[in-house]
Structure formats: C-alpha cells, structure tokens
A and B are shown apart, each in its own frame.
Chain A
C-alpha cells in the first residue's frame, strides 16, 4: 500500500515568488492536513481538508492557502515568499474524521517538501 506522497521533495525559490506543493494521500484517506516544520517552532498546523472542505486553519497569514480535489489529493500554495517561509512542509492523511478516532486512526505523514527561500 503506497504511503503519503509529497512532491517536490526539495525546491529553492527566491523572495517574492510563489510555490505550490502537492500531496497524494494514502488511497481511501479523505482527510489531508498540512504542517510546517522549522527548527525554532517545531511542527505547526497549517490547515486540514476533509472531503474537499477546509475544516480547520492554523494561525498563518493569508499567503498560505490550500485546496483538496475530489480524489483527495491536496495542494498548498504560498504566495509572495519570505525568507522565514523556509521550512519542511509535511502532509498527513487519515482515513478517519479525527476527534476520538485519532486514538486508533492516527495520521500518516509523508516525507515532506523542503522549501528554501533565498
């Protein structure tokens, strides 16, 4: 069974540019979450999509956006890149809706997309 696939794995952008990252969840999983990992802040929640609807959003500026397609694949976009956006962006999928199900239906993470902004 294929895991969570994220593309691209590595990318370098310059300030002011925009970037789109892609995530293909495990087959059958309807929930996709995005997290940003930086050395100073750890993993921070960006947003979660479930059945093409954004269910939760973290405390990030509007430059960060996402969407989910009918096949559950998800993309996130960061516009007007800043140096501080350099991070590992992790996608996680789950077959379940969360809440109490989290105890048995844990999130499965991809390997991440490492973004460097110069």
Chain B
C-alpha cells in the first residue's frame, strides 16, 4: 500500500518553461512534506519542504504547494533549466516518526535546451 504516490514516472519540459511535479498521499497523519532531487550515482539531496500548516513555500525558482483537503502537493520549478534534469522524490513524515520518511516512486524530469 503506497502511502505516497508520484503518478508520473517521467516529465519532459523545454528550458525556460515551468515544470510541475505532482505527489499524492493517503496518510492523514503526515505533517511534513519534502522534495528531494537525485542525480545518477549520487544520493538524494534536499530541495524544499513544507509543513502542513502552510499551503505554499517558495525558495528561489522552486515553490511547493500543499492542498491538505485533496492530500496533494506539487513542486513548481520556474524557469526550468537543463541542470534541473534529475529524478525528483516527494517524501512525507509524521510528527511522531522521527526522521522516518515515506517516499514516492520518483519522477524523472528532463529539461530540454
């Protein structure tokens, strides 16, 4: 039973355009949501996060939106750059779960020059 789902295994966008990566979750106990980026042969690196008390968090070109009622979050990258090409993982955690993260299956983003 996948509690965090990324339904799009891949996404291709043109450089300069917006990339929108989506994530759905089922566990209402999740309070914190994070996005990680992973390049081949490297470990995931933290990108941006959001608490369930917020509906938006912005950091430079990256914005995460959270819709608690729909149990849905999305990551917007504007403008997209070729260096953003990587696998993006959505992750969630509950307040009482320490550093335990539940990850989605990942979305491979390809930004074409």
Given contacts A42-B103, A48-B100, A112-B43, contact A103 B89 (CB under 8 A): no
**Do residues A56 and B100 form an inter-chain contact, with CB atoms below 8 A?**
yes
* 7 pairs from A and B in contact (CB 8 Å cutoff): A44-B103, A56-B99, A56-B100, A97-B99, A99-B98, A102-B32, A107-B46
Known: A43-B89, A108-B46. 15 other contacts (CB 8 A): A31-B99, A42-B106, A48-B100, A56-B97, A90-B44, A99-B32, A99-B95, A102-B34, A102-B93, A103-B51, A106-B34, A106-B46, A109-B43, A109-B44, A111-B41
Q: Are A33 and B100 in contact (CB under 8 A)?
A: yes
Residues of B within 8 A of A103 (CB): 32, 49-51
8 Å CB contact of A33 from B31, B32, B99, B106: B99
Query: Is residue A15 contacting chain B, with contact meaning CB distance below 8 A?
Result: no
Give the interface of B toward A (CB within 8 A). 31-32, 34, 36, 41-46, 49-51, 89, 91, 93, 95-106
State whether B98 touches A107 (Cβ < 8 A): no
Chain B residues near A4 (CB, 8 Å)? 43
Is A92 in contact with chain B by the CB < 8 A criterion?
A: yes
Distance of A20 Cα from B36 Cα, bound (Å): 27
Against B, the Cβ 8 Å flags (1 = close, 0 = not) of A102-118 are 11001111111000000
The answer to the question of A61 belonging to the interface, with a C-beta cut-off of 8 Å to chain B, is no
Interface check A64, CB cutoff 8 A: no
Of all chain A residues, the one with the shortest Cβ separation from B32 is: A102
Chain A residues with CB under 8 Å of B91's CB are 43
Nearest B residue to A42 via CB reads B105
A55 to B96, CA, bound (A): 10
B42 to chain A minimum Cβ distance, whole angstroms, is 6
- List chain B residues, Cβ under 8 A from A92: 43, 99
Q: Which of chain B's residues have a CB closer than 8 A to the CB of A102?
A: 32, 34, 49, 93, 99
Cross-chain contact B96 with A99 (CB below 8 angstroms): yes
**Minimum distance in angstroms from A11 CB to a CB of chain B:** 15
A56 proximity list for chain B (CB < 8 A)? 97-100
Does B51 lie within 8 Å of A98, measured CB to CB?
no
